[in-house]
Chain A
Amino acid sequence: MIDLQLMALLLIPLFGGGMLAVFGSRSWAAELNSLMSGLTFLASVALTMRVIDSGPQVVFGEQFFIDQFNVFLVALTAFVAFTTSLFSRPYMRIEQHHGKLSTGMLHLYYSMYQMFTFTMLVALTTNNMGIIWVAMEAATLTTVLLVSLYRTPSSLEAAWKYFILCGVGIALALFGTILLYFAAERVLGEGGTALLWTHLNQVKGELEPTVLKLAFIFLLVGYGTKIGLVPLHSWLPDAHAEGPTPVSAVLSGLLLNVALCAVMRSKVLVDGSLKTHFAGNLMMGFGLLSVVVAALFLSRQKDIKRMFAYSSIEHMGLITFAFGMGGPVANFAGMLHMTMHSLTKSAIFFAVGHAAQKAGTQQMERIRGLLQVSPTVGWGLALGTFAILGMPPFGVFASEFLIITTAMHEYPWTTPILLAALGIAFAAIFGKIQPIVFGETTAKPLPHPPALIPVFVHLLLVLILGLYMPPYLANWYRQAAALLG
């Protein structure tokens, strides 16, 4: 049964990518894109239900592996991909209307959107550490042309930076994978099984610690480039700022998570082999550095998408830090924060996209008084900002609170640093968003209110999860957290 659901989950976006590669320039391509993403989401729901009922399983000759941890990311990915496709339908049409995009570019966008979903889902569900790498690289390849979709000099520069930096980063991850295989080969013998995560997990105690240590450094640096950890982050703000807004939303909300998932898979193996907190310490270090540096950079931003890109670095740093601390509570908090961040950040990008589209610029100084122009966009952005800044009663508050209390308990010295960074980030973002939303403007109100249902759906979910966590969900997260050790 489960293989059927998994097959549906993977084949629908692949099929959708193929269909859109052919029919991408038809007038109904956007609807087809949403339909395919919707079907993928349904498949992911079915898969999730199965896995929570019957526990982790391997499928298709052990090439795929589903447990509570990755199915949580699968569900999140499919959901955000679906809502983003809904958002992009009107958004991209308006862009085309403004003459910023041609039909050919939209064609490329739709087919690559589905392929991108496919590669992320493969990276999440595969059991083979080598295939994770292949899928991550493929995810870069599918998005790189999307970042340069507008063909402006700055978007080309951003895409080139993204391509080169992530290409180099991911190459280092491949070296880490090779080292992992090198260590595994001595225990599991040559052949296909030596890269299968489930097999590696069984023998992780026997893997050579010196090799795994080096392998993890390479894997963390490699996939860390994708996560956007400081100092490997410099591609991230550019790519987010210069690409089309739906692409920024999925990059920020999803791709970063997928890369982190790959790191966590490696961390479990390394912990088992080394029996020390080496991997955790490394992740905590990178995470803390990312939080601090991103917070300091936030106040210097002028471009609104760029600023929220830095906020993504900050939050990914926080999640990496939480996973680095390890233990059931910190892992639980990390996963919760992952969920909250994905939902909130994509909602913010949707709102920002509309705001920037209406203002005709991404420069924050020139976007003013959103509430007067369009109350929906204004409130969407305001609420999203409140949520991402960790204001109660939104869910981000709950997860950040959990992370910080755990840190206070386990590593007290990190608490003041984290609090200070979060405070700086709060001041920076709030100070910049406040005039944008509430300021005075001379622009005329829009005749029609924009469709921003995805924004409010996301924010509503974040709000509900902040107020009340259903026991079913809490139980699921707890199981997943336990898997991460």
Chain B
Amino acid sequence: MTIPLSLQFINLLAALLLLIAFAMLAQRRILSLINLFAWQGAVLALSTFVVAYTTSQHHLYYSAALTLLLKVMVLPWLLHRLIHRLNVRWDVETLLNIPTTMLAGLALVIFAFNLAAPISQLAQGITRGLIGIALASVMLSLLMMLTRRKAVSQVVAFLSLENGLFFAATSATQGMPLVVELGIALDVLVATFIFGIFFFQIRETFESLDITHMEKLKDD
């Protein structure tokens, strides 16, 4: 069972992606969370690049460049600016039971791997197992969205969810059509802008970015 080195490298990057997802799950400080997000984007761009190189699909180079630009530079920069202007740079998420969250995350990973196992069996060559990892990191981001109480960290979770999906799209299936990828990238960018607008509106109205204030609308 000799596996080409490029595939081993992609596997390693996939594992790294998952590790970063876990690190984000356990990270309490918002600033570090955003840096982790940028790292995740870098891993994503690198793996897309390797896939592009090994399968010599040229449009994947564009998506790698797009990822690098958007996920490593623009979005983290935007988020840094936002938390600077909102003055929440040093905010720390309290009420976060890390061991329990981690165990839940582990259970989710097992669940995702199980779910993806029949698909992994089908995949030929390069894609084996990557769908499972992508699914696992998507699930971890979902869990992060559930456990977070700060608006900014929820948004970072949302963006990292998108990262997991993008990994599935580029590495596991060797690239969706470029139109679709461009559309997705545009949507993500616009979504981040709208989130930014929201932060200001929320803080203006609630004088805090804690979304625990926003639990008034309920069916009683």
Would A and B touch once assembled, by the CB under 8 A criterion? yes
Q: List residues of chain A with CB under 8 Å of any chain B CB.
A: 128, 130-131, 133-134, 137-138, 141, 144-145, 148, 151-154, 156-161, 163-164, 167-168, 171-172, 174-175, 178-179, 181-182, 185-186, 190-192, 194-195, 208, 210-211, 214, 237-238, 241-242, 297, 300-301
Given known pairs A175-B165, A211-B119, the reply for A130 and B220 (CB within 8 Å) is no
Residue B122 CB within 8 A of the other chain: yes
Q: How many residues of B contact A (CB 8 A)?
A: 50
Q: Is there contact, CB below 8 Å, between A210 and B118?
A: yes
Assess whether B176 is in contact with A167, with CB atoms less than 8 Å apart.
no
Question: Contacts A141-B191, A154-B216, A167-B191 given: A134-B197 contact, CB under 8 Å?
Answer: no
Q: How far is the CB of A331 from chain B (nearest CB, A)?
A: 29
Residues of A within 8 A of B186 (CB): 134
One of B122, B154, B173, B195 near A181 (C-beta < 8 A)? B173
With contacts A144-B194, A153-B205 taken as known, whether A175 is within 8 angstroms of B168 at the C-beta atoms is yes
A211 contacts across to B, CB distance below 8 A: 119, 122
Interface pair B174/A195, CB less than 8 Å apart: no
Q: List 30 A-B contacts (CB under 8 A).
A: A128-B180, A130-B177, A144-B194, A151-B201, A153-B205, A153-B214, A154-B217, A156-B201, A156-B205, A156-B214, A157-B214, A157-B215, A157-B217, A160-B202, A164-B158, A168-B161, A171-B161, A175-B134, A181-B173, A182-B119, A182-B131, A185-B173, A185-B174, A190-B174, A192-B177, A195-B176, A208-B122, A211-B119, A214-B119, A238-B217
Known contacts A156-B202, A167-B191, A178-B165; decide if A130 and B214 are in contact (CB<8 Å).
Answer: no
**In whole angstroms, how far apart are the Cα atoms of A153 and B203 in the complex?**
10
Let me know if B198 and A159 touch, CB within 8 A.
Answer: yes
The answer to whether A158 and B176 touch across the interface, beta carbons within 8 angstroms, is: no
Q: How far is it, in angstroms, between the C-alpha of A238 and the C-alpha of B215 when the chains are bound?
A: 11
Residues of B within 8 A of A171 (CB): 138, 158, 161-162, 165
- Using a CB–CB distance below 8 Å, which chain B residues touch chain A? 57, 115, 118-119, 122-123, 127, 131, 134-135, 138, 142, 145, 151, 154, 158, 161-162, 165, 168-169, 172-177, 179-180, 183-184, 186-187, 190-191, 194-195, 197-198, 201-202, 205-206, 211, 214-217, 219-220
Taking A171-B162, A179-B131 as given, write out 4 further A-B residue pairs in contact, using a Cβ cutoff of 8 Å, ordered by the A residue number. Answer: A134-B183, A161-B217, A178-B173, A195-B176
Known contacts A157-B214, A158-B217, A297-B219: does B145 contact A164 (CB below 8 Å)?
yes
Bound CA span A130–B168, Å: 14
Does A134 contact B177, Cβ atoms closer than 8 Å?
A: no
Which residue of chain B has the shortest Cβ distance to A191 in the bound complex? B177
Chain B residues whose C-beta falls within 8 Å of the C-beta of A148 in the assembled complex? 198, 201
- Contact between chains at A128 and B179 (CB < 8 Å): yes
Chain A contacts of B184 at CB under 8 A? 130, 133-134, 137, 174
Question: Given contacts A153-B205, A182-B131, are A214 and B115 in contact (CB under 8 A)?
Answer: yes
CB-CB under 8 A from A153, the residues of chain B are 205-206, 214, 216
Inter-chain contacts of B123 with A (CB < 8 A): 182
Bound form: Cα–Cα A242–B216 in Å: 12
On whether A175 and B138 interact (CB within 8 A), knowing A138-B187, A148-B201, A167-B191, the answer reads yes
The docked-state distance in angstroms from the alpha carbon of A141 to that of B183 is 13
Taking a contact as CB atoms closer than 8 A, the residue among B122, B173, B176, B201 that contacts A210 in the complex is B122
Q: How far is the CB of A1 from chain B (nearest CB, A)?
A: 25
Q: Is the Cβ of B172 less than 8 Å from the Cβ of A182?
A: yes
Max chain A CB contacts within 10 Å: which of B57, B115, B158?
B158
Q: How far is the CB of B145 from chain A (nearest CB, A)?
A: 7
Q: Is the interface of B mostly helix, strand, loop or mixed?
A: helix
Q: Which of A128, A144, A179, A300 contacts B119 (CB 8 A)?
A: A179
Q: B183 touching A174 by the CB < 8 A rule? A: no
Which B residues touch A128, using CB under 8 A? 177, 179-180
Cβ contacts under 8 Å, B202 to chain A: 156, 160
Using CB atoms, name the residue of chain B closest to A136.
B187
- Alpha-carbon separation in the docked complex, A208 to B191 (Å): 34
Rank and list the top 7 A-B pairs by shortest CB-CB distance, nearest first.
A130-B180, A134-B183, A157-B214, A137-B187, A182-B173, A192-B177, A210-B118
What's the minimum C-beta distance from B24 to chain A, rounded to whole angstroms? 16
Question: For the complex, what is the distance from the CA of A194 to the CA of B211, rounded to whole Å?
Answer: 41
- Do the beta carbons of B197 and A145 come within 8 Å of each other? yes
Partner of A163, one of B118, B168, B198: B198
A416 to chain B, nearest CB (A): 26
Q: Are B214 and A131 in contact (CB under 8 A)?
A: no
Decide: B183 and A130 in contact? CB cutoff 8 A: yes
A201 to B186, CA, bound (A): 28
Residue of B nearest to A302 (CB): B220
CA distance A157 to B174 in the complex (A): 39
Cα–Cα, bound, A174→B184 (Å)? 9
CA distance A171 to B154 in the complex (A): 14
Closest-by-CB residue of A relative to B190 is: A141
Closest chain B residue, CB of each to CB of A192: B177
Q: A134, B168: Cβ atoms under 8 Å? A: no
B172 neighbours in A (Cβ, 8 Å): 178, 182
> Which A residues are CB-close (under 8 A) to B165?
171, 174-175, 178
* Contact (Cβ within 8 A) A178 B122: no
Q: How far is the CA of A185 from the CA of B184 in the complex (A)?
A: 19
B173 to chain A, nearest CB (A): 5
Contact of B179 among A130, A172, A214 (CB under 8 A): A130
| Nearest CB of A to B37, in Å | 16
Selected contact of A131 from candidates B131, B135, B183, CB within 8 Å: B183
Q: Which residue of A lies closest to B118 (CB)?
A: A210
Chain A minimum-CB-distance residue to B162: A171
Contacts of B115 in A (CB 8 A): 214
- Tell me whether B219 and A167 are in contact (CB under 8 A): no
**A144 and chain B: residue at smallest CB distance:** B194
Shortest Cβ gap from A145 to chain B (Å): 6
